[in-house]
Amino acid sequence: MEKQIIKVNGMSCNHCKMSIEKALKEISVNGTVNLEAKTVTVEFDPRKSNLEQIIIEIEDQGYEVEK
């Protein structure tokens, strides 16, 4: 499993947290949102998912990923 911490802007409440975590789960990524730190910690199998795909998934939910 690969672990990465992504900086994400625009997450403000539990709804944001849940929608991102749910969207990531759908692409087999274990994501944990930290609202205070404005981060998403992701754990994934690099054979099944990749960071690019994860960023797209988060942006599709309407949030801005800091690159």
Q: Applying CB under 5 A, which of residues 4, 12, 28, 34 lies at the interface with Cu ion? A: 12
User: Which amino acid is present at 26?
Assistant: E
> Rounded to the nearest whole angstrom, what is the least distance from the CB of residue 35 to Cu ion in the complex?
9
Identify which of 5, 38, 40 has the alpha carbon closest to the alpha carbon of residue 22.
40
Q: Applying CB under 5 A, which of residues 16, 27, 51, 55 lies at the interface with Cu ion? A: 16
Q: Is 15 in the site for Cu ion (CB under 5 A)?
A: yes
Check: CB of residue 54 under 8 Å from CB of residue 67.
Answer: no
> Rounded to the nearest whole angstrom, what is the least distance from the CB of residue 19 to Cu ion in the complex?
8
Residues near Cu ion (CB under 5 A) are: 12-13, 15-16
